């Protein structure tokens, strides 16, 4: 697949993915969703980067929502299919074996907030705004917003934001636990890269198992504790563990190979 709405670059071994529908405030249309799906299910598996920063073009928006024009005239069945596709794509991001950080530069509303929440971490510029305004249109979030928002900020506050459609500013998002860091506008990618470079010095297999194990906590079909036991066993059988333990004893920096 050719990327039309995503631009992929590399900096210091980190992948930078920019959604480039700036005139539409980077709204998630069908083409963009298909490209995100391809990125995190096929292309990304082969992309030789240690982690990914996901951001939006311009200074106004990370992603200001889904492309509402595509919703008009949609049947209930069509709406369910669209929501399921969104769930599948955002689960692929959430389960991606390398760390993914959303660099939120401006509005992250509706599908944009849901996209940011599907990433493993979020770095927000001080001008960022978050919200799920779907009830203003007479609908509800369809890409996981009613579920992930609760995970990050708790049921009571999530209920309030989902039902009032209120936006919150970056400092409040930080206070609530929705974002990991707030930085001056324009420094979002730099901070995300700083975190990813630190993670890149750790064992890649262990990082992937961390992602799997943490996600298992929120998956009712899995026993998170059992997942941790199995994942721990899998990591102790790797060359990375031998290297990491040996480097610790020898008081040197480990040289992990990812196996």
So which residues are the catalytic ones?
114, 134
Take residue 237 and report the two structure tokens written for it. Answer: 């059988």
Buried b (16+ CB within 10 A) or exposed e, 140-161: ebbbbbbebbbeebeeebbeeb
What residues does 11 pair with on adjacent strands? Answer: 14
What residues does 122 pair with on adjacent strands? Answer: 102
Question: SS3 letters for the chain?
Answer: CCCCCEEEEEECCEEEEEECCHHHCCCECHHHHHHHHHHHHHHHHHCCCCCEEEEECCCCEEECCECHHHCCCCCHHHHHHHHHHHHHHHHHHHCCCCCEEEEECCEEECHHHHHHHHCCEEEEECCCEEECCHHHHCCCCCCCHHHHHHHHHCHHHHHHHHHHCCCEEHHHHHHHCCCCEEECCCCHHHHHHHHHHHHHCCCHHHHHHHHHHHHHHCCCCCCHHHHHHHHHHHHHCCHHHHHHHHHHHCCCCCCCCCC
């Amino acid at each position: 697949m050719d990327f039309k709405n995503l631009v992929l670059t590399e900096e210091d071994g980190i992948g930078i993915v920019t959604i480039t529908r700036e005139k539409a405030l980077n709204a998630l249309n069908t083409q963009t969703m298909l490209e995100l799906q391809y990125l995190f299910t096929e292309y990304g598996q082969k992309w030789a980067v240690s982690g990914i920063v996901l951001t939006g073009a311009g200074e106004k928006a990370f992603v200001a929502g889904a492309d509402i024009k595509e919703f008009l005239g949609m049947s209930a069945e069509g709406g369910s299919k669209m929501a399921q596709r969104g769930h599948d794509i955002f689960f692929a991001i959430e389960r991606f074996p390398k760390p993914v950080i959303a660099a939120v530069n401006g509005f992250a509303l509706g599908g944009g907030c849901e996209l940011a929440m599907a990433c493993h971490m979020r770095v927000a510029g001080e001008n960022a705004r978050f919200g799920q305004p779907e009830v203003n249109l007479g609908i509800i979030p369809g890409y996981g917003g009613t579920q992930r928002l609760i995970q990050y900020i708790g049921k009571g506050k999530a209920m309030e934001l989902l039902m009032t459609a209120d936006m919150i500013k970056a400092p409040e998002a930080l206070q609530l636990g929705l974002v990991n860091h707030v930085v001056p506008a324009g420094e979002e990618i730099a901070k995300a890269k700083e975190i990813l470079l630190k993670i890149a010095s750790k064992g890649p297999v262990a990082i992937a198992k961390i992602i799997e194990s943490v996600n298992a906590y929120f998956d009712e079909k899995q026993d998170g504790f059992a997942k941790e036991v199995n994942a721990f066993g899998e990591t102790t059988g790797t060359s990375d563990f031998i290297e990491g333990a040996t480097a610790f004893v020898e008081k040197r920096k480990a040289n992990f190979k990812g196996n």
